[in-house]
Structure 1
């Protein structure tokens, strides 16, 4: 399946309490890019400008004419590709990922060695379905989140979900094949829409979110009220809780999978100011 991932952490402010991030930045330094490279588990390369790409776990990394090829992806918990860079405001990656029947995918946003948010995707119980779970570390036990479903940029439905709640998406016919998709990780108060017009800040400023859109494919999802809606983009937005405090910046994204392979076609980031 062809997966285009554009994960964007826009001036990411990760709001955490002790159950999420371990203290403030002075107590949990992110470390330098050099130190992170030294601790890399596998082969590292600098195929894309300013980004150090390292194989994780038992994964194998190879430069190609198109970009990078990642193979030997046997365990979504350990095997994949780690992208490391200086403190960033946004990050994007375009990849091809073929999960296969029993495949799984996990995106992890991290500050240094600390994972601050994840997006997990696994096959569902029914054919052509997938179960998706976002997680945010802004509250003890994880933050609740709001799910928004769009089709061609138009909101089709929305629903609040508690922390740890998996959402099942059906009729996703190319889930295990080559699928074109766009995933974003961002901080809500500075989302820039496709028109490049800056929107007004939302009420839960500082919340983080994941967005996963499929190009040329749609899926369906059943809301809590029984309504079935069809979309091409899913969005999961953290609901800010009392007691949050900012955890600013991010330095890497990990893409881990149980899959037949990943081909990274492009990757870039925008440094934080």
Structure 2
């Protein structure tokens, strides 16, 4: 709490201008008539430790953390949730009693987006195929295994990276060659793209969808554009699809509640505010 009694929070990244978190939290503050401020902060990696130590003294209740600081923020925290430890990164920090509490809500946001966007989704329906093996994939895989998915088929352009992730996380993960990505879709009840392929300004999404079952649920963590080439192709094959914006919205819920004392709702008005 700041000296004025107004709660402060924000998001730290480098760069930070692209972040939509200020629109999200600003919408919730306005919607619920809460006093508070949520500010974007461009912090270089060499300055992160100093800034995190200073923010509580400046009256901040906590911050979101985005690229490239998620791993470093975890290492600087005094207390770490089990989720953040397993994922190996923090995206939500809360300052209390002079200590930094680190959490990772990406997996929570991913699952809540699926449940909202595809009511009745059953994690036990079959295998999940995950494209990509970076930080986002790590959070998705941990969440899927915790939810009860029987097998995760993991494919990445660099197989060694996928093998390293499988060894680190353990559990029912099967690595497939990137050249077999199309085959990995054939057996999938759920398909998740965690790569930047298909994103505006990114590389093209060229994974063949011929084997994709019409019964599969398909989601893409990319949300610029909202309908990616993967989602468009899957929808054309009759699949249910869920876009990636909801993951951003839902992952912000726990932090907002901790910092501002009100659990916010993710609905159409929230999506519209962030897309505006």
Normalising by structure 1, what TM-score?
0.29
Q: Whose strand proportion is higher, 1 or 2?
A: 1
Highest RCO, 1 vs 2 (Cα 8 Å, sep ≥ 6): 1
Q: Which protein shows a greater Rg?
A: 2
Q: Whose helix proportion is higher, 1 or 2?
A: 2
